């Protein structure tokens, strides 16, 4: 009887622990792309205090789940993991099959209830864009090479979708907005765009589309290239006018820079300084100009220095006095006209004599020097 009571108490305790252990939450979606599948869930952290909590995830095909003893058909993918995720990519789930996925919470003592969801890769997995898009210019056309989206094993998704995979191609001039792009739908991997302008840049991006479930992928990377072919005449003429205008503007700019530089150098090395008014008046007359100009030699502006002795000067003075007295004596008896003429001739003779004497003295002084 005591053993039975002990067993009952233990059962009650285990039931209480099991009731307190919560299940994972938000187990409703699978992050999937092509054939890559990751199951995610949430766990409230406040209930994990002082508990060593782990998680276990399993899967089973829905056709096997309908059998009476289906528990043995469950396949475990993640066992006692700490992360709130489980990667089912390695399980190699068939793309067109239907599966059930489930996850539970584990502790060293108990496990929570299983939370399971229904998952169909063909319907629920997202479709990826083309793995590669290449452009090649062929004259005035563009050739687009599209490589199919790939599975986790690097196989083409077209083999899994029963050739229901198509592509939506958007192309537009690079100068325009992508919203004005033209759309082309095709199932081919090589497409030639022909309605294009020559010598023009075009941009292209591609989407994958699954026709059965009407699933569309995101756009691939944008690729741009320029078409070939001969350039139109009007475009050549336009480029010529633009280049001519640019050359003219360049020459004008260089001329302006040269003028500014010349003006700066001139104002620096040859400043415009105005002479005062009184100097300009002196500069206006030719005689003043000759005086202001520097002489070529000192002899051109310097007069020769004449040195005469004191005795010679006194003799000249006495001679002039005698002449004056004789002139006065003769003037008393003769007429005024005769006296004046004789005095003038006599004075000129004396001046010539004095000049010759001074020149002789000057020559002698120069010889002595």
Query: Among 167-181, 201-215, 227-241, 258-272, where is mean pLDDT lowest?
Result: 227-241
Q: Do 56 and 86 fall within a single domain? A: yes
Q: Do 100 and 163 fall within a single domain? A: no
For residue 275, what are the contacts with CB-CB under 8 A and spacing of at least 6? 283
13, pLDDT greater than 60: no
pTM: predicted TM-score of the whole model, two decimal places: 0.56
pLDDT score, position 163: 81
Q: Are 235 and 203 in contact (CB under 8 A)?
A: no
Q: Are 148 and 156 in contact (CB under 8 A)?
A: yes
pLDDT score, position 223: 93
pLDDT tens-digit series, residues 156-208: 999 898 888 999 999 999 888 887 889 999 999 999 998 888 888 999 999 99
CA distances from 318 to 261, 312, 346, 350 (A): 78, 10, 14, 12
pLDDT tens-digit series, residues 301-344: 555 655 555 555 555 545 555 555 444 444 444 444 444 444 55
pLDDT score, position 178: 81
Q: Is residue 341 part of a domain?
A: no
**Domain, as residue range, for 205:** 132-226
69 pLDDT band, cuts 50/70/90, is confident
pLDDT tens-digit series, residues 73-114: 999 999 999 999 999 999 989 999 999 999 999 988 888 999
What mean pLDDT do residues 342-361 have?
Answer: 58
Q: Do 200 and 166 fall within a single domain? A: yes
Last residue of a domain, one of 99, 124, 149: 124
Q: Is residue 106 part of a domain?
A: yes
292, pLDDT greater than 70: no
Hey, which residues does 87 pair with through a beta bridge? 38
DSSP class of 218: -
Q: Do 74 and 113 fall within a single domain? A: yes
Q: Are 365 and 313 in contact (CB under 8 A)?
A: no
User: 28-55 as b/e, with b when 16 or more CB fall inside 10 Å?
Assistant: eebebebbbbebbbeeeeeeeeeeebbb
- CATH number at 55 reads 2.60.40.10
What is d(CA 248, CA 58) in angstroms, rounded to the nearest whole number?
77
Q: Are 103 and 24 in contact (CB under 8 A)?
A: yes
pLDDT score, position 114: 93
Query: In whole numbers, what is the pLDDT of the chain averaged over residues?
Result: 77
CA distances from 17 to 14, 42, 79 (A): 5, 20, 21
253, pLDDT greater than 80: yes
pLDDT score, position 244: 92
What mean pLDDT do residues 223-236 have?
Answer: 79
pLDDT score, position 336: 43
DSSP class of 48: G
Q: How many domains does the chain have?
A: 2
Q: Is residue 301 part of a domain?
A: no
Q: Is residue 119 part of a domain?
A: yes
Q: Do 31 and 111 fall within a single domain? A: yes
What is d(CA 54, CA 43) in angstroms, rounded to the nearest whole number?
10
What strands, in cross-sheet order, belong to the sheet with 190-193?
132-138, 141-147, 190-193
Q: Do 141 and 216 fall within a single domain? A: yes
Q: What are phi and psi of 14, to 5 degrees?
A: -65, -35
Last residue of a domain, one of 93, 124, 155: 124
What is d(CA 184, CA 361) in angstroms, rounded to the nearest whole number?
125
Q: Is residue 313 part of a domain?
A: no
119 pLDDT band, cuts 50/70/90, is very high
233, pLDDT greater than 70: yes
Last residue of a domain, one of 170, 202, 226: 226
237, pLDDT greater than 80: yes
Q: Do 103 and 150 fall within a single domain? A: no
What mean pLDDT do residues 17-41 have?
Answer: 83
What is d(CA 119, CA 100) in angstroms, rounded to the nearest whole number?
6
pLDDT score, position 125: 93
Q: Is residue 338 part of a domain?
A: no
Q: Do 120 and 21 fall within a single domain? A: yes
């Amino acid at each position: 009887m005591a053993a039975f009571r002990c067993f009952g108490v233990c059962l009650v305790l285990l039931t209480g622990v099991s009731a307190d252990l919560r299940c994972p939450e938000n187990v409703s979606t699978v992050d999937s792309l092509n054939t890559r599948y990751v199951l995610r869930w949430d766990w409230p952290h406040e209930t994990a205090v002082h508990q060593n909590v782990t998680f276990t995830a399993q899967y089973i095909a829905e056709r096997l789940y309908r059998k009476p003893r289906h528990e043995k058909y469950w396949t475990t993918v993640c066992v006692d993991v700490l992360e709130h995720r489980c990667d089912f990519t390695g399980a190699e789930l068939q793309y067109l099959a239907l599966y059930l996925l489930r996850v539970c919470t584990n502790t060293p003592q108990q496990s929570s209830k299983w939370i399971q969801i229904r998952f169909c890769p063909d319907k629920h997995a997202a479709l990826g864009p083309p793995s590669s898009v290449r452009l090649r210019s062929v004259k005035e056309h563009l050739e687009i090479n599209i490589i199919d989206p790939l599975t986790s094993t690097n196989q083409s998704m077209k083999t899994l979708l029963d050739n229901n995979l198509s592509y939506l191609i958007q192309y537009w001039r690079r100068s325009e907005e992508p919203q004005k792009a033209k759309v082309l739908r095709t199932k081919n991997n090589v497409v030639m765009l022909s309605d294009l302008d020559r010598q023009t840049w075009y941009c292209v991006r591609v989407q994958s589309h699954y026709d059965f479930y009407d699933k569309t992928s995101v756009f691939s990377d944008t690729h741009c290239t320029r078409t070939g072919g001969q350039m139109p005449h009007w475009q050549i003429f336009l480029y010529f006018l633009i280049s001519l205008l640019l050359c003219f503007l360049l020459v004008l700019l260089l001329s302006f820079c040269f003028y500014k530089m010349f003006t700066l150098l001139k104002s620096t090395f040859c400043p415009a300084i105005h002479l005062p008014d009184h100097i300009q008046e002196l500069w206006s007359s030719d005689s003043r100009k000759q005086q202001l100009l520097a002489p070529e030699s000192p002899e051109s502006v310097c007069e020769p220095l004449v040195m005469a002795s004191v005795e010679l000067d006194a003799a000249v003075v006495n001679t002039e006095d005698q002449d004056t007295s004789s002139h006065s004596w003769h003037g008393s008896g003769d007429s005024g006209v005769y006296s004046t003429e004789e005095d003038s001739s006599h004075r000129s003779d004396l001046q010539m004599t004095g000049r010759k004497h001074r020149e002789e003295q000057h020559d002698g002084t120069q010889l002595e020097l």
